[in-house]
Amino acid sequence: MSIVDEQQRPAATSRTVVPVALDTVGVVSAAGVGLGPLADALRRGGADGGQPPATGEAESYPPLTLRPADFPAADLLGTKGLNRLTRAEQLGMAACTLALEPLSDRSGTGVVLGSAVGSSGGVGRFTRDTFVQERPYLVNPSAFPGTLMNAAAGRTAIRHGLTDANATVSGGPLASLHALRFARNTLVAGHARRLLTGGVEELSPQSAWVWYRAGSLAPRVALGEGAAVFALRTVPDGATGVNPLAHVMAVETGFAAGGPLAVARRLTICVRDAIARSGLGAADIAVVAPGAAGRRGWAAVEERALGAALDGPGHRHQLRVQEVLGETHGASVALQVAAVVARWHDPHLDTRGERAALVTSVGPDGSAGCAVLLHPHAGA
């Protein structure tokens, strides 16, 4: 028997979505820079990670396994002004810069980034100063813009002169999924020709202690960070000189206030709707990249929903991104999407038979959602 009460909620609009081309990827994570190292780490089942961001006198990390992003910020961004950027800004800007690099025509481009709160370390240190400085307003004025959630997207736009729609989207573990859906809808509605879309999350002592004290990490999962950004455009928008790495089909998100079972039901509905709106069937889903494995108690909720929506586990490849990169919260869905693309472009694998992939996530507040990606050889 299905766990979905079909009478409870109406189906989504049944209209098939128009595909959105995913032309380029910029990714920085514990696996390193780019799709190649990510594909290697996924095959190996682990990544070493870089050095954790420095701490101040008042901060240290809790006893958690950390999986910091491994990226040469100065090489990617230059040294000028680098130390004035928050870690979130460095990560987000690096991923956007990498995604933009292969594109010759940058006109009509905007930025849409998902993030839980922006720079957790930046906000924490700035707020701390209001308590510990001689006067509460004797904060560092140049640090103020970096405390805003939209700092990474704004600074990226400044660096590359990207004058179109520029949005920052929150939503915990679904932040990047919301960003993906926001970007899809915004492109299709004609508000931009291309959107650098993805998510960013920094590791900081402040965020690490929040995870530790809330006890919300799943056992044996590291706390990670990173950013993944994709250049998305609507397909009819013509030749860009770039062959898409994948197509983003339906992105469906929803909410259920009634606890984990209700969230599972909502995710089941989202997955069914997304597959149908992508013009596909459950049998076309060859790869699943689930997102809840890093959060204590939620993997079972997600698995239950997937089992119901896909009629059992089938012979699908499971991309276990959190095992490899750690829990990356607001960046996690973006890194799951990057993992799918990395797999599909891994020279050591033949994935041409994999028509489509499903990326899913659930959040502790009640949000659930998924995205369907189409293999570049499947044609959109």
Partner 1 sequence: MSDEASAAGRRVVVTGLGAVSSLGLGARAVTSAIRAGRSGIGPIGQFDGTGFERSLAGEVRGFHAEMHLRGTDPARWGRSGRFAAAAARMAVTDAGANPAALSAGRTASCFGTTNGESQVLEELTQQWVDDGLAALDPVLAGRGDAGRIAAAVSAELDLSGESVTLGTACAAGNYAIGYGFDLVRTGEADAALCGGADASNRATHAGFHRLGALAADVPRPFDEHRDGIVTAEGAAALLLEPLDTALARGARIYAEVLGYGMTCDARHMTNPDAASIAECIRRAHDHAGIKPGDVDYICAHGTGTKANDSTETAAVREVFTDGPPPISSIKSMLGHTMGAAAGFGALVCCAALSEGFLPPSATLREVDPALGPGLDCVQGRARATRPRIVQNHGFAFGGNNAVTIFGEFTA
By C-beta, is 369 or 376 nearer to partner 1?
A: 369
Q: How far is the CB of 157 from partner 1 (least distance, A)?
A: 4
CB of 240 to partner 1, least distance (A): 21
Q: Are 263 and 368 in contact (CB under 8 A)?
A: yes
CA distances from 116 to 177, 245, 268 (A): 12, 27, 24
Q: How far apart are the C-alpha atoms of 252 and 180, rounded to whole Å?
A: 10
Q: Closest by alpha carbon to 200, among 223, 179, 222? A: 179
Could you give the CA distance from residue 116 to residue 152 in angstroms, rounded to a whole number? Answer: 12
Nearer to partner 1, 62 or 313 (CB): 62
Find the DSSP H helices in 293-364. 299-309, 321-325, 332-344
**CB of 161 vs partner 1, minimal distance in Å:** 5
Q: Which is nearer to partner 1, 43 or 160 (CB)?
A: 160
Question: Three-state DSSP class for 234?
Answer: strand
Q: How far is the CB of 196 from partner 1 (least distance, A)?
A: 11
Q: For residues 257 and 98, is the Cβ–Cβ distance under 8 A? A: no
Query: Minimum Å distance from CB 125 to partner 1?
Result: 9
Q: What is the 3-state secondary structure (H, E, C) of 36-57?
A: HHHHHHHHHCCCCCCCCCCCCC
Residues, the chain: 380
- 231, 244, 233, 246: which is closest to 97 by C-alpha? 231
Both tokens of 154, joined, read 């704004």
Q: Are 265 and 277 in contact (CB under 8 A)?
A: no
Q: Which is nearer to partner 1, 130 or 318 (CB)?
A: 130
Smallest separation, CB 377 to partner 1 (Å): 29
- In angstroms, give the least distance from the CB of 126 to partner 1: 6
**CB closer to partner 1 out of 262 and 349:** 262
Nearer of residues 32 and 172 to partner 1, judged by Cβ: 172
Neighbours of 104 (CB within 10 A): 7
**Do 198 and 227 meet the contact criterion of CB atoms below 8 Å apart?**
yes
Our CB check for partner 1 shows the closer of 66 and 245 to be 66
Closer residue to partner 1 (CB): 38 or 165: 165
Task: For residue 304, give both structure tokens.
Answer: 């239950």
Provide the minimum distance between the beta carbon of 369 and partner 1 in the complex, in angstroms, as a whole number: 8
